[in-house]
Amino acid sequence: MKDLAGRVALITGAGSGIGRGTAMALGARGVRIIAADIDEAGTGQTVMEILAAGGEAEAIRCDVGVDGPLDLARDLALKRFGRLDILMNNVGVIINGRPEDIPIAEWQRIFNLNFFSVIRATHAVIPHFLAQGSGHIVNTASIAGLYPYAYDRTPYAASKAALISYSENLAIYLKPQGVGVTCLCPGPVATQIRKSNVSWTDGLPTHGPGDQFGRMDPRDVGEMVCDAIVADRFFLPTDDQVLPILVDHARDIDAYLAAELRRWE
């Protein structure tokens, strides 16, 4: 999508963190924003900041965990701004615990919010993008879905791996029809995501992706998303260190896992 100015974007999880950072970055490039979130104070703040910077935006309370609200968010974009060009599926929540301590209902909740919410949104928006012959979908996954580095957040990592696979196959389907797909795979970003954490194993330490990663500013991630949409780029890791790790993992998965096991000895 070469020109961003005048476009309209629907962003879920836009009340905080990466969603807000991307809403601000797109807003500054002339994209009109529908900021969707369950946190109305958060989206109110996002909209206020976009308006203060000279952009256009509107908030909608939207729970991506149930059927219906995403259809209303799509309809709001079409009614308020007369078009919809970009969908960013960005809601994600975390969980901590040994795999066997996490109840099945919690596994389902994490997959519902991190993965099935994206299916709901793409169901709501794909027919519109296909009919107009253009559009762009950004799915926020994580480096946690690219290669293993921790056993204490397996539902999160597995839901992000599912999202990466879904995004790749979706890109093959949509690209020939004029619709781009970007899979954002952030490393650590300074956001409120820890507030969503539920812990199911007392005292279990949370393993990080490695000390080599710094915590990025969400607005910088937003700028990278803007550039990826313009360049029609699919794979968007936020850190240059990710690709060599990914290559290492793909070359010999058994050796990679053995090295990870040694890291936690």
Ligand X SMILES: NC(=O)c1ccc[n+]([C@@H]2O[C@H](COP(=O)([O-])OP(=O)(O)OC[C@H]3O[C@@H](n4cnc5c(N)ncnc54)[C@H](O)[C@@H]3O)[C@@H](O)[C@H]2O)c1
Measure the CA–CA gap between 95 and 156, rounded to whole angstroms: 7
Answer yes or no whether residue 18 interacts with ligand X by CB under 6 A: yes
Given 8, 10, 16, 229, the residue binding ligand X (CB under 6 A):
16
156 is annotated as an active-site residue: yes
- For residues 73 and 126, which CB has a smaller minimum distance to ligand X in the complex? 73
Answer yes or no whether residue 188 interacts with ligand X by CB under 6 A: yes
- For residues 30 and 227, which CB has a smaller minimum distance to ligand X in the complex? 227
Given 7, 9, 11, 19, the residue binding ligand X (CB under 6 A):
19
User: What residues does 58 pair with on adjacent strands?
Assistant: 34
The CB-side HSE value for 56 (13 A sphere, CA atoms) comes to 11
Residue from 147, 156, 166, 256 carrying the catalytic annotation? 156
CB 8 within 8 A of CB 32: yes
Answer yes or no whether residue 142 interacts with ligand X by CB under 6 A: yes
Given 23, 59, 189, 242, the residue binding ligand X (CB under 6 A):
189
Answer yes or no whether residue 59 interacts with ligand X by CB under 6 A: no
Residue range at the interface with ligand X (CB under 6 A); choices 15-23, 225-233, 244-252, 256-264? 15-23
Site string for ligand X, 217-256 (x = CB under 6 A): ----------------------------------------
Give the three-class secondary structure for 85: coil
Angle subtended at Cα 247 by Cα 251 and Cα 147, rounded to the nearest 5 degrees: 95
What phi and psi values does residue 33 have, to the nearest 5 degrees?
Answer: -115, 135
Answer yes or no whether residue 63 interacts with ligand X by CB under 6 A: yes
Given 60, 64, 171, 245, the residue binding ligand X (CB under 6 A):
64
Answer yes or no whether residue 60 interacts with ligand X by CB under 6 A: no
- Which amino acid appears at position 221 of this protein? V
Distance from CA of residue 109 to its chain's centroid? 17
What phi and psi values does residue 93 have, to the nearest 5 degrees?
Answer: -130, 155
Residue range at the interface with ligand X (CB under 6 A); choices 16-24, 70-78, 170-178, 226-234? 16-24
Helix (H) or strand (E) holding 108: helix 104-111
What phi and psi values does residue 11 have, to the nearest 5 degrees?
Answer: -120, 120
Answer yes or no whether residue 39 interacts with ligand X by CB under 6 A: yes
CB 93 within 8 A of CB 64: no
* CA proximity to 91, closest of 147, 30, 10, 200: 10
Answer yes or no whether residue 139 interacts with ligand X by CB under 6 A: no
Give the three-class secondary structure for 144: helix
- For residues 169 and 192, which CB has a smaller minimum distance to ligand X in the complex? 192
Helix (H) or strand (E) holding 22: helix 17-28
Interacting residue ranges for ligand X, rule: CB under 6 A: 12-13, 15-19, 37-39, 42, 62-65, 90-93, 113, 140, 142, 186, 188-189, 191-193, 196
Q: Which residues are catalytic?
A: 156
